[in-house]
């Protein structure tokens, strides 16, 4: 087994990624204001039987920005560039929140390359009008109040009990989030605001599909997530906590992913 930290150039932007293990390729895609380090506690459990690739999306972690709008399609193309560089023809995608939107954009364009797709605290539906308005407002406010805005955004992803129980992990995740540039924040948020509905990507493809839901997720409505899973013929796993299942339900998530990977 080996761990390889690598970079490549995509449209004159540096993209950072890691490559570890052997077997079926599994691509882990982080969420908004996160980076590849969010998978640090999960990757070692998956590399025992799989080749695991983690990628810093544009404007996050050690990867550069490409303008002030990072569409889901653009993010997906960077994932494609990494897979092409590594000569990987087929893979399983696991995307957290924003990462799920990126995975769906990739699967829409390259369905033949997908063995399985897991939406972790994510959705194939587009933003409703209220959410779009909130994102537009945040992009205006962030330019003058970055630190407080990021702190507030992160705090809202956890319930009161989770904040106490996972204080150390929350603080570490927050410190990573604060390393994101203002440009990276705006570009990703604008891309999410304008993303289309991709229910059809799940519904019309035969690859294995899993939606992991947090019952108390403050971002995604629990009942709507269940409805989405039913109408797209996706398997569903429900955890009792919020939007950050990789922190709030780490052990359960590892077990869930192991089972899913075996099915793909």
Residue appearing with tokens 């013929």: 233
pTM of the full predicted structure?
0.97
Over residues 188-215, mean pLDDT: 97
Q: 3 falls in which pLDDT band (50, 70, 90)? A: low
Burial of 144 (0-12, 13-18, 19+ CB in 10 A): exposed
Task: Give residue 209's Cα distance to chain centre.
Answer: 15
Nearest CA to 78 out of 62, 94, 68, 63 is that of: 63
What pLDDT, on a 0 to 100 scale, did the predictor assign at position 102?
98
Q: What is the number of structural domains in the chain?
A: 1
pLDDT of residue 48: 93
Q: Is the pLDDT of residue 4 over 60?
A: yes
pLDDT of residue 155: 80
Note the pLDDT of residue 175.
95
Give the CATH number for residue 146: 3.40.50.1820
Q: Please report the pLDDT score of residue 2 as a whole number.
A: 52
How confident is residue 136, by pLDDT bands cut at 50, 70 and 90? very high
Q: What is the DSSP string of 138-190?
A: HHHHTTT-HHHHHHHHHHTTS-HHHHHHTHHHHHHHHHHHTTS-HHHHHHHHH
pLDDT tens digits along 19-31: 999 999 999 999 9
Q: Is the pLDDT of residue 1 over 50?
A: no
Give the range of the structural domain holding residue 41, as residue numbers without chain letter: 3-263
E strand or H helix at 199, and its extent? helix 199-203
| Mean pLDDT value across residues 212-231 | 96
Mean pLDDT for the chain overall:
95
């Amino acid at each position: 087994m080996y761990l390889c930290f690598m970079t490549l150039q995509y449209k004159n932007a540096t993209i950072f990624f890691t490559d570890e293990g052997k077997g079926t390729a599994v691509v882990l895609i982080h969420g908004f204001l996160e980076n590849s380090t969010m998978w640090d506690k999960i990757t070692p459990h998956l590399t025992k039987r799989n080749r695991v690739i983690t990628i810093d999306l544009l404007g996050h972690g050690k990867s550069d920005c490409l303008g002030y709008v990072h569409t889901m399609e653009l993010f997906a193309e960077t994932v494609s560039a990494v897979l092409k560089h590594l000569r990987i023809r087929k893979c399983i995608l696991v995307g957290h929140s924003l990462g799920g939107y990126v995975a769906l954009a990739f699967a829409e364009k390259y369905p033949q390359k997908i063995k399985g797709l897991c939406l972790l605290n994510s959705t194939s539906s587009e933003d409703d009008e209220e959410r779009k308005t909130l994102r537009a407002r945040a992009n205006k406010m962030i330019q003058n109040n970055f630190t407080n805005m990021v702190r507030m955004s992160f705090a809202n992803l956890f319930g009161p009990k989770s904040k106490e129980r996972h204080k150390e992990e929350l603080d570490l995740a927050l410190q990573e989030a604060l390393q994101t540039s203002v440009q990276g924040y705006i570009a990703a948020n604008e891309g999410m605001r304008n993303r289309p509905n991709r229910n059809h990507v799940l519904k019309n493809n035969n690859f294995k599909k899993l939606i992991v839901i947090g019952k108390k997720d403050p971002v995604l409505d629990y009942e709507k997530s269940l409805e989405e899973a039913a109408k797209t013929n996706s398997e569903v796993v429900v955890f009792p906590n919020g939007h950050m299942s990789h922190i709030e339900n780490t052990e359960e998530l590892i077990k869930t992913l192991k089972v899913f990977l075996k099915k793909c």
